[in-house]
Amino acid sequence: MKDKICAYIESQREDFLKDLKSLVDIKSVREEPKAGMPFGEGPAKALNEAIKISNAHGFDIINFQNYAGEITYGKDPVLMLLAHLDVVDEGDFWTYEPYNMKIVDGKAFGRGTTDDKGAALCCLYAMKAARELFGEPKKGVRLVMGCGEETGSEDMDYYFSKREKLPYTLSPDADYPLINLEKGRFAPTFKKSAENSGEKTVISFFGGTTGNIVPCKASVLISGIEENEISDIIKTAKNDTGVEFSAENENGLLKISALGVSSHAAHPEGGNNAQTALIYLINRLPLNKNEVTLSFKSLEKLFPHKETNGSSVGVKMSDEISGALTLNFGVLHFNNGEFTGSLDLRCPIGANDTNVKAVIDKNFCDHGFSFEGDPEMIPVHYVPEDAPIIKTALKVYEEYTGLKGECLAIGGGTYVHDIEGGVAFGIEFHGTDYKIHGADEFAVIDELLLTAKMYTAIIYELCY
Ligand SMILES: [Zn+2]
């Protein structure tokens, strides 16, 4: 069986690369919507190209208003494969051209080669291989190619307003071996009014700007203190926090800037938060005690520098399957007597409104802060390890790669986060940085074909 599948997919190599180039060469970054194109022209063009390719391989494809395209092979489908055709902006510093795919040393370079046009094609070729090798399935298989994954998955909101979910969903838009647990998320914004009085106080504070990133920069303006008065305090704070500080005079005020290390909020322990480090420093300056400076003391108490498990705000928790709760204090601004900020928590299976949201709310209240609006907790996405789709996918993975197949738990969310029973399977192998979302994104061609082979085998196992 394996030999048959491998031989067929290998025979498609040239066609596969030709199709991949035709998709990658279309810039399918979200733009302003146009009539009939909810994500603008680029994503619609990519879907149109995918329709042409699918037709050329003998598949009919339904276009869901340029939100997504759907191919169903066989009756009564049970398995949905989910990939996307939109890409993130190319950014700077490319050696190759982002929208003119080039093959060098067995790698295909270009935006979307891995994430996720390459993956979409793997699924299409797997369906074709299944059809050519095994004929009509007992239960059908469906490929859905979305056009809005990178900007919040509104494509799936639309698609699932028209279509039922299937028993099995598999998406090659994340990591191998397989992700069966995506932590829940709680990302509230908060505020507090605080009055300034006297000299020696904080005039304004500017921390991070994006809640889901550990801020690498922060700065503060302080009145009534000279740079030379605090050089020892700066030195100590640098030692204690590992963050770099610099101080300068700006229009009669003291400006202190902090430079740390950024990281994604799904793994905040990988960064060094410039914002919490600067709060640490501020709290050691000889400042006036007023509402503003006391608020900075509160913030340090609730979110001490280097703590990423939510312990001080009372929400530390973990379990065997999902690991520990993480907390990123990503945004804080103070200006004209107003504090605003945001947190980003990634929560394990047992987290809920009572043991996370209510606890933070209470601790915030005690220090005069409050949530803006009524923030909602996004639940954990979890598929138990003994689910048939997981057992099948990992068995195939071990057989085709020779690597150990095991489930992963992650702090981020994948394309299947809101699809009950869905799991992410591929497309990135552990240990390689494919530069997805960065410059010179690439795919290893042999690995793409390997993904196509594994998806063929899974279709066979679940549908025939
Ligand atoms: Zn993706």
Ligand 1: centre distance to CA 115 (Å):
5
Q: Name, in order, each residue with C-beta under 8 angstroms of 152's C-beta and a sequence gap of 6 or more.
A: none
Domain match, 106 and 157 both: yes
Task: Determine the Cα–Cα distance for residues 27 and 24; give it in Å rounded to an integer.
Answer: 7
CB atoms within 10 A of CB 236: 13
Ligand 1: centre distance to CA 116 (Å):
5
Domain that holds residue 429: 2-182+381-463
Domain match, 366 and 258 both: yes
Q: Tell the residue number behind the tokens 């979307």, with chain if given.
A: 112
| Domain presence at residue 333 | yes
Q: Are 424 and 278 in contact (CB under 8 A)?
A: no
Q: Which of these three, 371, 400, 427, is where a domain ends? A: 371
pLDDT of residue 380: 94
Ligand 1: centre distance to CA 193 (Å):
40
pLDDT tens-digit profile, the chain (464 residues): 999 999 999 999 999 999 999 999 999 999 999 999 999 999 999 999 999 999 999 999 999 999 999 999 999 999 999 999 999 999 999 999 999 999 999 999 999 999 999 999 999 999 999 999 999 999 999 999 999 999 999 999 999 999 999 999 999 999 999 999 999 999 999 999 999 988 999 999 999 998 999 999 999 999 999 999 999 999 999 999 999 999 999 999 999 999 999 999 989 999 999 999 999 999 999 999 999 999 999 999 999 999 999 999 999 999 999 999 999 999 999 999 999 999 999 999 999 999 999 999 999 999 999 999 999 999 999 999 999 999 999 999 999 999 999 999 998 889 999 999 999 999 999 999 999 999 999 999 999 999 999 999 999 999 99
- Cis before 116 (ω within 30): yes
Domain match, 27 and 110 both: yes
Q: How many structural domains compose the chain?
A: 2
Q: Name, in order, each residue with C-beta under 8 angstroms of 155's C-beta and a sequence gap of 6 or more.
A: 38, 39, 67, 68, 84, 86, 146, 147, 148, 149
Domain match, 321 and 304 both: yes
Ligand 1: centre distance to CA 171 (Å):
10
Ligand 1: centre distance to CA 321 (Å):
24
Domain match, 106 and 176 both: yes
Ligand 1: centre distance to CA 362 (Å):
37
What 3-state class would DSSP assign to 393? helix
| Domain presence at residue 50 | yes
Domain match, 366 and 401 both: no
pLDDT of residue 318: 96
What 3-state class would DSSP assign to 76? coil
CATH number of the domain encompassing residue 421: 3.40.630.10
Q: What φ, ψ does residue 450 adopt, rounded to 5°? A: -60, -40
Structure tokens at 247: 């101080």
| Domain presence at residue 205 | yes
CATH number of the domain encompassing residue 303: 3.30.70.360
| Domain presence at residue 13 | yes
Ligand 1: centre distance to CA 43 (Å):
14
Q: Which of these three, 340, 371, 402, is where a domain ends? A: 371
| Domain presence at residue 264 | yes
Domain match, 177 and 279 both: no
The one-letter code for the residue type at 172 is: P
Task: Determine the Cα–Cα distance for residues 249 and 227; give it in Å rounded to an integer.
Answer: 7
Domain match, 285 and 397 both: no
Domain match, 258 and 173 both: no
Alpha-carbon Rg for the chain in angstroms: 25
Task: Determine the Cα–Cα distance for residues 43 and 84; give it in Å rounded to an integer.
Answer: 10
Domain match, 260 and 340 both: yes
* Residues β-bridged to residue 114: none
∠ CA 360-344-420, rounded to 5°: 100
pLDDT of residue 412: 86
What 3-state class would DSSP assign to 374? coil
What 3-state class would DSSP assign to 360? helix
Ligand 1: centre distance to CA 402 (Å):
25
Domain match, 309 and 355 both: yes
Strands 141-146 and 79-84, sheet pairing: parallel
Structure tokens at 210: 């994006």
| Domain presence at residue 23 | yes
Taking ligand 1, which is a single-atom ion, which protein residues have CB atoms under 5 Å away?
A: 115-116, 173
| Domain presence at residue 376 | no
Q: Which of these three, 305, 337, 371, is where a domain ends? A: 371
Question: Which H or E element spans position 222?
Answer: strand 217-223
Domain match, 65 and 170 both: yes
Task: Determine the Cα–Cα distance for residues 455 and 118; give it in Å rounded to an integer.
Answer: 13
| Domain presence at residue 214 | yes
Ligand 1: centre distance to CA 441 (Å):
12
Q: Are 348 and 182 in contact (CB under 8 A)?
A: no
Angle of helix 13-24 versus helix 41-56 axis, rounded to 10: 160
